[in-house]
Amino acid sequence: MTLEMFKALGAGLATMGFIGAGIGLGTIFGNYFQAVSRNPASQDKFQTWLFVGFALTEALGIFALLIAFMIMFVI
Amino acid sequence: MADKTESGSAFDLLGQFDIAPIKAVKDTPFEFLTNSALFMILTVAVIALLMLVFTANARVVPGRTQTLSEIIYDFGFGLVSDILGKHGRPFLPFVMSIFLFVFVANIWGMMPYSFTVMSHVSLTAFMAIVIFSMVIFIGVRRHGLKWFSLFAPSGVPFWLLPFMIFIEVLSFFVRPLTHSLRLFANMTAGHIVLKVIGTFASFTLIGGIALLPALIALSALEFLVAYLQAYIFALLAAVYLADAVELHH
């Protein structure tokens, strides 16, 4: 077992942070579709904030990606 | 993108993001041109064509090209007035410029043998830091020191306030980080996926034919991502600017 192997292993494990981001994005879009199918008139009102929520949730997954990049290329 | 690169290994995934001087302009005054700079110039040229040339002799009843510019303008106007309200009118050119630059650069990046400008974190980080500094500058200029009450949400019990201020300050200062990394990571990852599938397809004839539908679908998805990430980048810029323009209590 060399350091390179542990680095690859650690980077792979760090990407597991995307599990949480995936669950969060599923919740956001699922609830958006539910809200719009109950009240189609609300589509325009929610659409902008849907993408804001999407971006903020995805940010947490991106932190995990950042850790993976740091393990692979910085340390 | 499906072709093997010159550098030997078929799986040269990151070779497409290398910044290199353009060979054609060597020993001329334009020697400073790199492929990144060239595609940024092309991006600005397309935007100028859309926004300046197409509206050069504007009519009350728009023609085909003028309608295109008006659709793009309406889109940006709707985005800014949704988030910033009527106080956000001065920021419309800024947000529009950001959206158009990122969007056209991403679409240029989808052309075969082209260069994806937004696949470099140095550029996206620069844009995010400019937006971040603008938020602080405009906020302090409009509201003075009162602007820092942004970090203390109202209606919080006093014993919880130190924690809330800590979390708010932290989440404020990671904004440029996530703002830049989102665009960079999405563009880079998408192009690497296309390259991997394209390399597989280029190995054998049967494999190439079998993977053609997947490649078309992935390319279509990449066009969607190119638009969506540009939209989100501009949308978040507007959301961050909203903090500076109006203080909510």
Mutate to test the interface with A, among B183, B239, B243 (most CBs of A within 10 A): B239
Grade residue B7 by pLDDT with cuts at 50, 70 and 90: very low
Q: What is the pLDDT of residue B131?
A: 95
- Interface residue B128 vs chain A (CB under 8 A): no
Indicate the average pLDDT of chain B: 87
B231 contacts A51? CB cut-off 8 A: yes
Q: How far does the CA of residue A17 sit from the closest CA of chain B (Å)?
A: 15
From the options 3.30.540.10, 1.10.3720.10, 1.20.20.10, 3.40.50.620, give the CATH code of A3-74: 1.20.20.10
Mean pLDDT of all residues in B122-139: 94
B227 pLDDT above the threshold of 70: yes
Mean of the pLDDT values across residues B35-45?
A: 92
Residue A55 DSSP one-character state: H
Domain layout of chain A by residue ranges: 3-74
If you measure CA to CA, which chain B residue comes closest to A67?
B181
pLDDT at B247 over 90: no
- B87-123 per-position pLDDT tens digit: 888 999 999 999 999 999 999 999 888 899 999 999 9
CA quadruple B134, B140, B141, B142: dihedral sign: positive
Query: How far from B112 is each of A60, B3, B121, CA to CA, in Å?
Result: 32, 10, 22
Asked if B121 has any chain A CB less than 8 Å from its own CB, the reply is: no
Beta-carbon separation of B185 and A48 below 8 A:
no
**B238 in A contact zone (CB under 8 Å):** no
**pLDDT tens string B150-160:** 888 778 888 88
Cα angle B243, B244, B245; round to 5: 95
Interface probe, candidates A25, A42, A43, A48, chain B, greatest B C-beta count within 10 A: A48
Task: Give the minimum alpha-carbon distance from B59 to chain A in angstroms, rounded to a whole number.
Answer: 30
Contact check, Cβ <8 Å, A51/B178: no
Closest Cα of chain A to B13: distance in Å?
16
Residue of B nearest to A63 (CA): B178
Please name which of B107, B83, B110, B86 lies closest in space to residue B95, comparing C-alpha atoms: B83
Q: Do B185 and A52 touch (CB under 8 A)?
A: no
Distance from CA of A48 to the nearest CA of B (A): 8
- Give pLDDT, residue B99: 94
Q: Which residues of chain A have pLDDT under 70?
A: none
| Chain B residues 12-51 with a CB less than 8 Å from chain A | none
Higher pLDDT pick, B25 / B234: B234
> pTM for this one?
0.86
Predicted confidence band at B3 (pLDDT cuts at 50, 70, 90)?
very low
Confidence of residue B4 (pLDDT cuts 50, 70, 90): very low
Q: How confident is the model at residue B2 (pLDDT cuts 50, 70, 90)?
A: very low
- The per-residue pLDDT for B10 is 57
DSSP string, B59-102: -SS--HHHHHHHHHHHHHHHHHHHHHGGGGGGGHHHHHHHHHHH
Interface test with A, best of B167, B227, B235 (most A CBs within 10 A): B235
- pLDDT band of residue B9 (cuts 50, 70, 90) is low
Partner-chain contact A48 B231, CB within 8 Å: no
Contacts of A41 (CB under 8 A, 6+ apart): none
Radius of gyration of chain B (CA): 22
So what's the pLDDT on residue B8? Answer: 47
- Lowest model confidence (mean pLDDT) among A53-57, B29-33, B72-76: B29-33
pLDDT tens-digit readout, B133-154: 999 999 999 888 888 888 887 7
